[in-house]
């Protein structure tokens, strides 16, 4: 019997893969047999991750630049002739209510979190349609399902990611393409740790952030990566258009 979640022979690309959730996803997909393109704007860290995965290659990619997306697709198609799995993970955040958010802040988040996802998906999806096969997994947030205080710009973009995913799934279900998104709760990533260090009382802030999950802790990048592996695999062949909440119960009482 073949092992579950076997991605042997699949070609995957993960954005924002130099650290955090993206790094964990790159390792997890590679460990399941996929060749993984580690895509990130941070070349130094990205190359380290690409060198550490079982089978992968680094691509320098700023998803907010359409020319970078076109170049990435051209490279992948020249090297492998196709992309089977696209994981749109790259994203940025912002803290503030509407009073503390400028139009420039909103534009900056949309450029990466939404427009970048749109452009990269667009350059790969035609090839997926031609082959009648493709898996697209977008990393959204529990902030794309529920409002979070003082995260207006961030939640606005993540709600857009959920809608984008559902529209992709509906439009291209008969083209052999599955599109899903993962909505993590708070995850203990290097980015979150660096933000915690900015608080006057980092330990108190850590406890407060952990307590927002019903199970009393933040998630780990590997736990989010496990959900991505499932959605990428043939075991999830009947799953499309879903927003999978991996949030430790963050949303249970909301």
Q: Name all domains of the chain by residue range, CATH numbers in brackets.
A: 11-184+220-246 (3.40.50.720), 189-218 (no CATH)
Q: Give the end-to-end CA distance of the chain in Å, rounded to a whole number.
A: 42
Closest to 165 (Cα-Cα) out of 204, 113, 207: 113
Q: What is the pLDDT of residue 41?
A: 97
Phi, psi of 113 (to 5 degrees): -70, -30
Partners of 37 in the β-ladder: 13, 57
Catalytic residues: 154
Q: What is the pLDDT of residue 1?
A: 43
pLDDT tens per residue across all 254 residues of the chain: 457 899 999 999 999 999 999 999 999 999 999 999 999 999 999 999 999 999 999 999 999 999 999 999 999 999 999 999 999 999 999 999 999 999 999 999 999 999 999 999 999 999 999 999 999 999 999 999 999 999 999 999 999 999 999 999 999 999 999 999 999 999 998 888 887 887 788 899 889 889 989 999 999 999 999 999 999 999 999 999 999 999 999 998 77
Q: How far is CA 56 from the centre of its chain?
A: 18
The secondary structure of residue 219, as a DSSP letter, is B
Sign of the CA dihedral with 104 first, then 108, 109, and 114 last: positive
- Which pTM does this prediction carry? 0.95
- For residue 1 the two structure tokens come to 């019997």
Question: Is the CB of residue 254 less than 8 Å from the CB of residue 146?
Answer: yes
| Helices 66-80 and 117-131: angle between axes, nearest 10 degrees | 30
């Amino acid at each position: 019997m073949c092992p579950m979640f076997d991605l042997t022979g699949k070609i995957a690309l993960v954005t924002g893969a130099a650290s955090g959730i993206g790094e964990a996803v790159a390792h997890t997909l590679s460990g399941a047999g996929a060749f993984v393109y580690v895509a990130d704007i941070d070349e130094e860290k990205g190359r380290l991750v690409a060198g550490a995965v079982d089978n992968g290659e680094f691509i320098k990619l700023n998803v907010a630049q359409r020319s970078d997306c076109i170049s990435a697709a051209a490279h992948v198609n020249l090297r492998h002739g196709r992309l089977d799995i696209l994981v749109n993970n790259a994203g940025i955040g912002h803290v503030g209510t509407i009073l503390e958010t400028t139009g420039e802040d909103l534009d900056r988040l949309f450029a990466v979190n939404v427009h970048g996802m749109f452009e990269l998906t667009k350059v790969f999806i035609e090839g997926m349609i031609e082959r009648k096969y493709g898996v697209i997994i977008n990393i959204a947030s529990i902030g794309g399902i529920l409002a979070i205080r003082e995260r207006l710009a961030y939640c606005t973009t993540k709600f857009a990611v959920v809608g984008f995913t559902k529209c992709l799934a509906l439009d291209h279900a008969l083209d052999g393409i599955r599109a899903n998104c993962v909505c993590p709760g708070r995850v203990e990533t290097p980015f979150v740790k660096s933000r915690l260090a900015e608080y006057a009382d980092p330990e108190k802030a850590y406890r407060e952030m952990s307590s927002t999950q019903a199970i009393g802790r933040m998630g780990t990048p590997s736990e989010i990566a496990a959900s991505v592996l499932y959605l990428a695999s043939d075991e999830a062949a009947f799953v499309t258009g879903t927003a999978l909440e991996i949030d430790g119960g963050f949303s249970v009482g909301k």
